[in-house]
Amino acid sequence: MANEDQDRPNPPRRGLRKGLYLIPSMFTAANIGMGFFSVMASLRGFQLLGSATPDMAAAAAHFDSAAVAIGWALLFDMLDGRIARLTKTTTEIGIQLDSIADVVTFGLAPAVLAYVWGYGASLTEGTDLHRLAWFLSFMYLICGAFRLARFNVQASRPRILAEGTPKVDKKNYVGLPIPVAGGLIAALVHFSPFPLSYFGAEHARIYSGLLMVLVGLLSLMMVSTLRFSSFKTVGTRVRSMRTIIFALSVGMLIFLYSQYVLLAIVISYILYGLLSRVASLFWRRGESPEAEIEPNPVGRSSGS
């Protein structure tokens, strides 16, 4: 009996398989770490602005670090999901942990950054406009959390078609993804890290008003029913050398001109989703009514 146990082949390398489940969680933990770092850097920059002799250069360096941390978190957020799908190590705990990480990194951190870098230091505290700015940052966080909760519900309960088969739309997101919304705020700060109060009281009020409009629009787009491309199929299969060349070119451009390229990428993504929506509306209006009211041939029922 002992010889039979010795001759029996060893089971698969379960330890290695279990270790694969830790890899996506490590990227998610790095995502949370970047979010925490961004909040701390933002608070430190705001503290420097509130001193007797504000150090604008040092505060700008902290704000830029906070924005860059959100950018790194966006990369980690993209990698953890793709690695989980490629290694088939997706778990329920990982999905919930990823949502919590996104609330911290792309909800709380950008809301704090927009406040301390933008209207928090530019508007007079206690005024109606300042309270409105505070409220908009809060609404951005709430809308982002609602966006993530809705995504989890839709992912766990796919839409049922008339034939009775479930269908999950993997090509599009419903509502603006919260990493993109937070990435736009971070890209703006990275493009111009000096706080808005640096440009003078009059210009700071104008810029603060524009920033408040932007934060409000991002909040509305996150809870809207607009569809934005998910790009989930990108990177899962390398079909040609052009894909590799394109990815390397974008990465090099980000490395050399991150202030401009990152902002252009995020704005292009949002405009692409909005223009696609507008184009689909005109496409539906342009359909001829004759094509919709087509007479049924003899002997064919309308229900077929």
For the chain, the structural domain boundaries read 14-284
Sorted by sequence, the CB contacts under 8 Å of residue 178 that are 6+ apart come out as 102, 103, 106, 107, 144, 147, 148, 222
CA 69 to chain centre: 14
Q: Which residues contact 281 (CB under 8 A, 6 or more apart)?
A: none
At 15, the pLDDT band (50, 70, 90 cuts) reads low
- Residue 49 in this model has a pLDDT that exceeds 80: yes
Q: How many residues does the chain have?
A: 304
pLDDT at position 88 over 60: yes
Q: Give the residue with greater pLDDT, 287 vs 199.
A: 199
Q: Which pLDDT does position 240 carry in this prediction? A: 62
Q: 3-class SS at 229? A: strand
Q: For residue range 27-38, list pLDDT tens digits in order.
A: 889 999 999 999
pLDDT: is 288 or 262 the higher one? 262
> Using 50, 70 and 90 to split pLDDT, how confident is the model at 42?
very high
What is the end-to-end Cα distance of the chain in Å, rounded?
Answer: 66
DSSP 297: P
Query: Which carries the bigger pLDDT value, residue 108 or residue 98?
Result: 108
Give the pLDDT mean for 98-117.
94
Distance CA(68)–CA(74), nearest Å, equals: 10
Neighbours of 47 (CB within 10 A): 12
- Mean pLDDT highest for which of 83-92, 232-241, 266-275? 266-275
The residue-averaged pLDDT of 128-144 equals 93
pLDDT for the residue numbered 233: 56
Both tokens of 87, joined, read: 């290694």
Task: Give the pLDDT confidence of 222-236 residue by residue, as tens digits.
Answer: 999 888 887 665 554
Which of 82, 68, 90 has its CA nearest to residue 254? 68
State the pLDDT at residue 239. 55
Instruction: Please state which of the ranges 43-47, 97-101, 188-192 shows the lowest mean pLDDT.
Output: 97-101
**Which range scores top for mean pLDDT: 3-7, 52-56, 107-111, 162-166?**
107-111
Q: Which helix (H) or strand (E) element contains residue 246?
A: helix 241-256
Distances (CA, A) of 216 to 50, 173, 223, 259: 26, 20, 11, 23
Those residues whose C-beta lies under 8 Å from the C-beta of residue 243, and which sit 6 or more positions away, are: none
Query: Positive or negative, the Cα torsion across 6, 12, 16, 18?
Result: negative
Output the pLDDT for position 60.
93
At 172-208, the pLDDT tens digits run 788 899 999 999 999 999 999 999 988 888 898 999 9
Q: Which residue has the tokens 């736009």?
A: 184
pLDDT at 13: 46
pLDDT single digits (tens) 54-65: 889 999 999 999
Number of continuous H segments (helices) and E segments (strands) in the chain: 12, 4
DSSP secondary structure of 77-116: HHHHHHHHHHHT---HHHHHHHHHHHIIIIIIHHHHHHII
Give percent helix, percent strand, percent coil of the chain, each to the nearest 5. Answer: 75, 5, 25
Pairwise pLDDT comparison (303 vs 249), residue with the higher score? 249
Tell me the C-alpha distance between 214 and 7, whole Å.
68
pTM over 0.75: yes
- Res 207: pLDDT: 93
d(Cα 178, Cα 46) in Å, to the nearest integer?
Answer: 24
Contact 186, 110 (CB under 8 A): yes
- Give the model's pLDDT for residue 85: 73
Q: Is the pLDDT of residue 154 over 70?
A: yes
Q: Both tokens of residue 35? A: 């979010």
Averaged pLDDT, 281-299 = 54
153 compared with 115, residue with greater pLDDT:
115
Rounded Cα distance between 109 and 105, Å, is 5
